Amino acid sequence: MFTVLNQKTGKSFQISEDSAVLDGALSHGLNFPYGCQNGFCGKCKAIILNGEIEYEDEIPPAITDEDLEANMVLLCQCRAKSDLYIAVDEIDALANIEVRSLPCRVEKINRLNHDVIQILLKIPGSQSMQYLAGQYLDLEHSDFEPRAYSIANAPVNSNIVELHVRLVEDGEFTNFIFNTLKEKTILRIEGPKGDFFLREESDRPIIFIAGGTGFGPIKAILEHLIAINSERDVHLYWGVRDEVDLYSSLPSEWAGKYPAINFVPVLSEANGAWKGEHGYVHESVIRDFDDLSDYEVYACGPPVMVEAAAKSCLEKGLNKDNFYSDAFEYAFESS
């Protein structure tokens, strides 16, 4: 067993050499930031001040050459080879959120368009899941590896959980969901997870950048903003390929009902009949805003979109501490 000490908080925990450092921190109740837990999003980066780690395989893609020079590691993938002295900013907002494994019943299945399905899961009895709008969970079935899906509804009635699942052509689990899963089926969920959630203490105007089903967790955050009667200005940019991929009418309805909410759909492969924004979604944001220094940006979607959005927004003056993201990695669906 090794001891891991966080220089930022003075908290420490014990960990075996077989466990990822992040897993050890979370199991001891420390609120380390994290996202995909697969080595892609980079949210769980930390500085090793002293000690040795190793990765089971090659260095994760989220670790750059600059990160290596700065002794930066990815906590979800690395394992301790000695006592560790690290520097991590813990997230206070997650202090009272417990990660739980719960049974659930498939209450309703709705096809939203040709390749997106909505699943409503009901947690039975008096049990419920406490979560923050924007977080995700792992959906479990005995025949498949667990899959991570963002929670697409605000935590108002927390015994009902909504998921938006996109069909991946070679994805065994998503094909099962689309073609075989039936209502009343019993599954399990484990969550909530992740640090993509609304920072309620802020009064800054918000720009949401959603790619595809990245609209799901942003929908949850917007529903929460509406529920708490927030007066913050909101700009929602939803990027998809074609108009048929805009699988929900809610953004237009919100924009029509609430003066503080603005909605801009962006199509990357629009046909000639489309009169709205064309191109990549983050490019529309950059065209519309000259200075982002007073804003917060929440971006959710494929990693390439999130990375491009982060780079472009920082170049427009956004403070890096005001950029929050959740990067989906569809490659794991085919494993």
Tell whether 15 and 78 lie within a shared domain. yes
- Rounded to whole angstroms, how far apart are CA atoms 176 and 170? 11
Say yes or no to pLDDT of 335 above 60.
no
Tell whether 241 and 326 lie within a shared domain. yes
Tell whether 210 and 330 lie within a shared domain. yes
pLDDT category at 265 given cuts 50, 70, 90 is: very high
3-state DSSP call for residue 307?
helix
Q: Give the model's pLDDT for residue 91.
A: 83
Q: Which of 101, 120, 121, 122 is nearest to 190 (CA)?
A: 101
Alpha-carbon separation of residue 279 from 215, 221, 234, 239, 306 (angstroms): 17, 25, 21, 9, 15
User: Among 36, 70, 90, where does a domain finish?
Assistant: 90
Q: Give the model's pLDDT for residue 61.
A: 85
CA dihedral 135, 205, 92, 128 (to 10 degrees): -40
Q: Give the model's pLDDT for residue 158.
A: 65
Range of the domain at 124: 99-193
* Residue 201 domain-assigned (yes or no): no
Q: Give the model's pLDDT for residue 93.
A: 80
**Half-sphere exposure of 74 toward its Cβ, with a 13 Å CA cutoff?**
21
CB 285 within 8 A of CB 323: no
Percent of the chain whose predicted confidence (pLDDT) is above 90 = 75
Tell whether 34 and 125 lie within a shared domain. no
Pick from 184-198, 215-229, 321-335: least confident:
321-335
* Residue 199 domain-assigned (yes or no): no
For all residues of the chain together, what is the average pLDDT? 91
Q: Which of 196, 199, 200 is nearest to 216 (CA)?
A: 196
Say yes or no to pLDDT of 78 above 80.
yes
Tell whether 39 and 78 lie within a shared domain. yes
User: Among 61, 90, 119, where does a domain finish?
Assistant: 90
- Rounded to whole angstroms, how far apart are CA atoms 321 and 32? 16
User: Among 71, 90, 109, where does a domain finish?
Assistant: 90
- Rounded to whole angstroms, how far apart are CA atoms 207 and 292? 9
Tell whether 56 and 155 lie within a shared domain. no
- Rounded to whole angstroms, how far apart are CA atoms 299 and 215? 9
Tell whether 322 and 280 lie within a shared domain. yes
Pick from 51-55, 161-165, 275-279, 328-332: least confident:
328-332
Q: Which amino acid is at 106?
A: V
Tell whether 179 and 158 lie within a shared domain. yes
* Residue 200 domain-assigned (yes or no): no
Query: What residues does 111 pair with on adjacent strands?
Result: 117
Q: Which two tokens stand for residue 179?
A: 């073609």
CB 263 within 8 A of CB 252: yes
Tell whether 186 and 222 lie within a shared domain. no
Tell whether 232 and 305 lie within a shared domain. yes
Alpha-carbon separation of residue 331 from 62, 303, 315 (angstroms): 15, 11, 29
Max CA separation in the chain (angstroms) = 63
pLDDT category at 221 given cuts 50, 70, 90 is: very high
Give the chain's end-to-end CA distance (angstroms, integer): 32
* Residue 198 domain-assigned (yes or no): no
**H/E element, 145:** none
Say yes or no to pLDDT of 331 above 70.
no
Q: What are 150-182's pLDDT values in tens digits?
A: 999 998 756 899 999 999 888 899 999 999 999
Query: How many secondary structure helices (H) and strands (E) does the chain include?
Result: 7, 19
Q: What are 301-329's pLDDT values in tens digits?
A: 999 999 999 999 999 999 999 999 988 75
Tell whether 103 and 79 lie within a shared domain. no
Q: Which of 210, 195, 202, 190 is nearest to 298 (CA)?
A: 210
Tell whether 223 and 305 lie within a shared domain. yes
Q: Which two tokens stand for residue 211?
A: 């790619």
- Rounded to whole angstroms, how far apart are CA atoms 29 and 289? 40
Looking up residue 256, the CATH number of its domain turns out to be 3.40.50.80
* Residue 242 domain-assigned (yes or no): yes
Say yes or no to pLDDT of 334 above 50.
no
- Give just the sign of the alpha carbon dihedral 147, 151, 156, 157: negative
Q: What are 88-109's pLDDT values in tens digits?
A: 988 888 777 888 899 999 999 9
Number of separate domains in the chain:
3
Q: Give the model's pLDDT for residue 332.
A: 34
Say yes or no to pLDDT of 249 above 70.
yes
- Rounded to whole angstroms, how far apart are CA atoms 208 and 60? 28
